[in-house]
Amino acid sequence: MNEEKRRAHVIISGRVQGVFFRASTRDEARRLGLNGWVRNLPNGDVEALFEGDRQAVAQMLLWCHQGPPYAAVHKVDVQYEPFIGDQQGFRVVY
């Protein structure tokens, strides 16, 4: 197992759609050098996958608890998965 790399699958609940959450997540993930994706779910939540440096993933997860200025995050569910390294760049998925 690669101790320096991490993969986190995240579901963010609250007022997280219609507040630029996906675009802000993409920008923050790219700033941190992470790979993966983010998308809206039909139930109003946001789902994301982050892969990269362990420290950068930890910083991204902290950011997810607050999100962009107009978001109101109520819950962040994180599932750590084995690092695969199959993600290229960070994108918004529709």
Is residue 40 part of the annotated active site? The answer reads: yes
Among the listed residues 15, 40, 54, 91, the single catalytic one is 40
39, 43, 19: which is closest to 29 by C-alpha?
39
Q: Give the C-alpha separation, 19 to 16, whole Å.
A: 6
Residues in the chain: 94
Is residue 35 part of the annotated active site? The answer reads: no
Angle between helices 54-64 and 21-31 (to 10 degrees): 160
Among the listed residues 2, 6, 7, 22, the single catalytic one is 22
Q: Give the C-alpha separation, 17 to 25, whole Å.
A: 12
* Catalytic site positions: 22, 40
